[in-house]
Amino acid sequence: MFKELDPILHSQLRLAVISILITVKEAEFNYLKEQTNATSGNLSVQLQKLKDANYIEVEKQFKNNYPLTICKITATGIKAFEEYVINLKKYITPN
Amino acid sequence: MEDKQLNPNESIQLIEQMIRSTKNKLADDGVLLIFWGWLVVVSALVNYVGLQFQYENSGLVWAILMPVGGIFSALYGRYQNKQRNVKTALDGYLSYLWAGFGIALVITLVCGFSYGIKPVYFSLMILYGLATFVSGGLLGFKPLIYGGIASFICAVVSIFLSEMDQLLIIIIALLASYIIPGHLLRSKFKSQQNV
């Protein structure tokens, strides 16, 4: 039986962001932007969607008087990512 | 990258690619290892030469240069934090390891002399060895692991030496555990930056 893949994660940019955050403690907005080659506008929208789903925490700070956005994955996000990978495997090796 | 839907194979590839590019980033640029290595070597040499000429106060060089090193480390740490836009779990482990090492070192230097000079030099080499050995393991960088082991060996050998000759073996320990691995780490870090 195929289980439907989590629609929040099954999108290129959101999945890329979650994959990065799963390996790090925290990442700045600019780091995510560099790694994903996304535009700031699009990245902001997708981060907001991940935040609304409670998959990530977004913290606003200041660094040298410039606003700084720091993102961290939450326990819910880790669980969702793990389930997504388990379901993904079923699609690739269907038994 | 856009907000497009993926097929399962593309998803797997994307996850692998993102995890790989972040995981392989080297967490240490080697600057502090090189800096501390040379600072301690210079202090030990000045102290040694001073003692050769019966200049008893040459030990004061430690009291002057070590705080200078502490201030530089704190400033450099702040600068590095500003440059960095991602923090891995590894960065966290390393900073706790070196902070713990720093505290142990200060306690040894401030309180240890009541046991005499030899136990202090011995403990210093054990501490240097431990910090570089564990760092090497965490970073997956063998020269630091070997340097740590060399420092342990120097500590054991130092038991059989006079206080003055202990200063020379500290220099060897520092060359093996800080300076050589530090330069190697620095060149690896630089080559990675240029990719």
Sequential DSSP letters for chain B: --S----HHHHHHHHHHHHHHHHT--S--SHHHHHHHHHHHHHHHHHHHHHHTT-GGGGHHHHHHHHHHHHHHHHHHHHHHHH--EEEHHHHHHHHHHHHHHHHHHHHHHHGGGG-HHHHHHHHHHHHHHHHHHHHHHHT-HHHHHHHHHHHHHHHHHTTS-HHHHHHHHHHHHIIIIIHHHHHHHHHHHHHHT-
| Closest Cβ–Cβ partner in B9, B12, B18 for A35 | B18
Single-letter amino acid code for the residue at A49: K
Rounded to a whole number, what is the distance in Å from the CA of A9 to chain B's nearest CA?
9
Cβ–Cβ below 8 Å for B1 and A12: yes
Residues B27-37 as b or e (16 or more Cβ within 10 Å = b): bbbbbbbbbbb
Residues of A in contact with B96 (CB under 8 A): none
Q: What is the ipTM of this complex?
A: 0.82
Q: At what angle do helices B117-139 and B89-111 cross, to 10 degrees?
A: 180
Report, as ranges of residue numbers, the positions in chain B whose pLDDT lies below 70.
1-4, 23-27, 194-195
Given a cut of 70, the residues of chain A with pLDDT beneath it are 1-2, 94-95
The CA radius of gyration of chain A, in Å to the nearest whole number, is 14
Neighbours of B18 (CB within 10 A): 22
Residue B96 near chain A (CB below 8 Å): no
B195 CB neighbours in chain A (<8 A) are: none
Of the candidates B10, B21, B88, which has its C-beta nearest A35's C-beta? B21
pLDDT value at position B26? 65
Query: Looking at residue B23, what is its pLDDT?
Result: 67
Quick check: B65 and B42 in contact, CB under 8 A? yes
